[in-house]
Structure 1
Amino acid sequence: MSTWTNTIKLEGQKVDLVPLEKSHREGLLKAAADGKLWNIWYTAVPSEATIDKYLETAFQEQVNGRSLPFVVVNKEDGRILGTTRYCNVEAESRRLEIGHTWYAESFQRTGVNTECNYLLLRHAFENLDTIAVEFRTNWFNYRSRNAILRLGAKQDGVLRNHRIDQQGLLRDTVVFSIIQSEWKTVKNSLEYEMSPYRR
């Protein structure tokens, strides 16, 4: 297994990113139920019917050295708020993607996403010596696209008819990235956004 996908806990101020385990199944279902996120047609949030396959795929991709999945844990009460992961890892090219990210509806737009991505980006650039971090989202996921831009990522382009989803719909995928030379400025921006002056 790539050292890039070795389990690690990333600790923040509001949340911790903890390596995904089978024992997190019920916590993830409770988080997804906050807003019934599985009903959003352009995302892939697990429901009771799909959670086991969702977990199996995440674990298998980690075994294959392609993914490192986390659960997002609220430091205040230990509740699972959602999940995120490194995916499409290309250790030989020092690139990866941050994706499969979703949060309970009541914790969206609360600063949780900013802190999670800050922790993931800092580890990727400062510990893994990544040269580029990608973000990808469905063309119709305007909220996600705007959130990615607010992080400081730049849009690389759109992959037209990139895949066929579970409903048989053609998906256009919007690709964004932050590259190594941009990290210092992006880091400064994210730290400012998380500072007491912005709360």
Structure 2
Amino acid sequence: MDFYASPQLRGDLVDLEPMTGEHAPELAEAIAEDDFYKVWFIRLPSPDGMVADIESKLTRHTTQQCVPWAIRRKSDGRAIGVTTFLNIRPDNKRLEIGSTWLATSAQGTAINAEAKLLLLTHTLETLECIAVEFRTHWHNRRSRAAIAALGAKQDGVLRNHDVWQDGTVRDVVVFSIIDREWPTVRLGLREKVRSFTE
């Protein structure tokens, strides 16, 4: 079981593709659908910064610091977002799913649910993780609600955890799904996807 591999993960609504530099133009277009990347409590690349962001992720992948995927919507074939494994700890059978974003046109659909279903199936079944984490900024209430809606439970808040480039300090909210919760979480995610595709 290779925690640093990035297999293609196929679903009904989306495919998760191992990230490459070739995804940059589509992802720059996707993030430019709105200006949410400018929100002060979110760290996302601008359209102009997409190439550098992808290059950074690919470099970090080679040094086993992350595993990045591009999210491709099957209905129109467009790459419309990114998701990443972070804080990878094979010795403790756990990792974080994070640095996730979706184009505005993909939000409010079952795309996030299916992407997480694919990732959680890979982590909890193929990699046999005992826990998968999700982290977000305390002020990102939308992200916190979306994580809870997946079936994750809040573990706690890491106060003054990150100092950002502008000097502000981030309190990090940590959620997780543990292995014994997975059968129930999986049913919930499958139902979200099924209700959207019918």
Q: Does the pair score TM above 0.5? A: yes
What are the ranges of 5 or more consecutive residues in structure 2 without an aligned counterpart? none
Kept after mapping to 1: 8 A contact 2:155/2:174: yes
Mapped to 2, the partners of 1:52 and 1:15 lie a distance apart of 22
Mapped to 2, the partners of 1:57 and 1:139 lie a distance apart of 25
The superposition leaves residues 79-137 of structure 1 with CA deviations (integer Å, 9 ceiling, x where unpaired) of 01110111111111111000000011121111111111111001101100011000000
Paired letter, 2:109 = T
SS at the partner of 2:45? coil
Mapped to 2, the partners of 1:197 and 1:170 lie a distance apart of 38
Q: Percent identity?
A: 41
Mapped to 1, the partners of 2:57 and 2:193 lie a distance apart of 29
Match of 2:4 in 1: 5
CA shift at 1:49, angstroms?
Answer: 4.1
1:49-88 → structure 2 map (5 Å cutoff): 49-88=48-87
Match of 1:126 in 2: 125
Paired letter, 1:153 = A
Kept after mapping to 2: 8 A contact 1:155/1:175: yes
SS at the partner of 1:3? coil
Paired letter, 1:95 = R
Kept after mapping to 1: 8 A contact 2:110/2:196: no
Paired letter, 2:23 = H
CA shift at 1:194, angstroms?
Answer: 1.7
Mapped to 1, the partners of 2:47 and 2:151 lie a distance apart of 35
TM-score (norm 1): 0.94
SS at the partner of 1:195? helix
What are the ranges of 5 or more consecutive residues in structure 1 without an aligned counterpart? none
Match of 1:90 in 2: 89
CA shift at 1:186, angstroms?
Answer: 0.7
Paired letter, 2:36 = L
Runs (4+) of structure 1 moved beyond 3 Å? 196-199
Match of 1:161 in 2: 160
Count of residues in Structure 1 that have an aligned counterpart in Structure 2: 198
CA shift at 1:29, angstroms?
Answer: 0.6
Mapped to 2, the partners of 1:33 and 1:74 lie a distance apart of 16
SS at the partner of 1:42? coil
SS at the partner of 1:147? helix
